[in-house]
């Protein structure tokens, strides 16, 4: 079952990414959006789609809201494009992990360098 879930998640990740680029024409959706991860429930009823959006908080929130509004449309396109009996309900979430990692690296880079004990 685990292998099947991985296949379904990777298939959904790839197809949702294509749909966002090729089929969604909503001006609220940033052109700098990436689908990073899909997590589907074991019963295949719900998929959480984690996205990254380049831009300020306003752009991110507009994109997220627009994608959640378009989730029914995206689900219908997935039903047409994929060989699945059913497609789970889609919910989009912002993934801030890339920005968190960048902030941590900036903090580390700005830490004062430890002096070498042999310098004295």
Residue 3, pLDDT score: 85
Contacts of 36 (CB under 8 A, 6+ apart): 50, 51, 52, 95, 98
Q: Which helix (H) or strand (E) holds 92?
A: strand 89-94
What's residue 119's pLDDT? Answer: 53
What is the pLDDT averaged over residues 58-80? 96
Record the pTM: 0.79
Residue pointed to by tokens 């004062």: 112
The pLDDT of 35-63, averaged and rounded, is: 94
More confident residue, 107 or 72: 72
For the chain, domains (ranges, CATH) are 2-113 (3.30.300.20)
Checking if the pLDDT of 103 tops 90, the result is no
At residue 35, the pLDDT reads 96
Round to whole Å and give the CA distance between 60 and 54. Answer: 7
């Amino acid at each position: 079952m685990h292998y099947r879930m991985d296949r379904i998640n990777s298939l959904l990740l790839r197809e949702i990414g294509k749909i966002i680029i090729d089929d969604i024409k909503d001006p609220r959706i940033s052109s700098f959006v990436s689908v990073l991860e899909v997590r589907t429930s074991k019963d295949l009823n719900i998929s959480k789609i984690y996205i990254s959006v380049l831009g300020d908080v306003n752009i991110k929130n507009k994109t997220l809201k627009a994608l959640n509004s378009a989730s029914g449309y995206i689900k219908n396109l997935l039903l047409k494009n994929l060989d699945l009996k059913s497609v789970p309900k889609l919910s989009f979430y912002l993934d801030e992990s890339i920005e968190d990692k960048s902030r941590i690296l900036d903090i580390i880079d700005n830490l004062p360098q430890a002096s070498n004990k042999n310098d004295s």
